[in-house]
Amino acid sequence: MFAEEIRENAGYMVLVEEAINNLDDLTPNAKDTFLWAISQKYSQIRKELFLQNSTDPSDIEARQELISSNADKILHAVSEEIESTSSQLNYPVELKKVARELIVIYGFINCKILEKPPV
């Protein structure tokens, strides 16, 4: 689901990065705080996923399989976390949804959350 959207909207990542950098210029450390929040939410969702599926996080293969098979759910859950902030903005719902998802993807990339598959 998200893979196709990411490919379609990849060109907008430059705009997302520019907007985040502008925000950081206005409010120092906003970018670091934002990236930390995304990383924390991801960690929380991942831990819940391990518990729900009785997966041992030290089992690299099982961990990777679980995360890969739930990647869209994880991205969606993190995206939903920042929904309350964007609800105050006066833009069409669809535009805000895509922006939230791109921001989360930006966060995943910059926090190096995307896990490498086992070799």
pLDDT of residue 12: 74
Averages of pLDDT over runs of 10 residues in the chain (119 residues) are 68 78 83 84 92 94 90 85 56 66 77 61
From the list 32, 36, 33, 31, the residue with the least C-alpha distance to 16 is 31
pLDDT of residue 23: 78
Residues 6+ apart with CB under 8 A from 15: none
Q: Does a structural domain hold residue 47?
A: yes
Q: Which two tokens stand for residue 27?
A: 């409010």
The residue segments making up the domain with residue 64 are 2-111
Note the pTM of the prediction, 2 decimals.
Answer: 0.73
- Rounding to the nearest 10 degrees, give the CA dihedral for residues 3, 7, 9, 13: 100
Amino acid present at 71: A
Rounded CA gap, 39 and 20, in Å?
16
CA distances from 82 to 9, 10, 61, 107 (A): 19, 20, 30, 12
| Number of domains forming the structure of the chain | 1
Q: Does a structural domain hold residue 25?
A: yes
Q: Does a structural domain hold residue 54?
A: yes
pLDDT of residue 49: 94
Q: Does a structural domain hold residue 116?
A: no
Q: Does a structural domain hold residue 44?
A: yes
Q: Does a structural domain hold residue 119?
A: no
Residues 6+ apart with CB under 8 A from 62: 55, 56
Q: Does a structural domain hold residue 117?
A: no
pLDDT of residue 13: 75
pLDDT of residue 59: 93
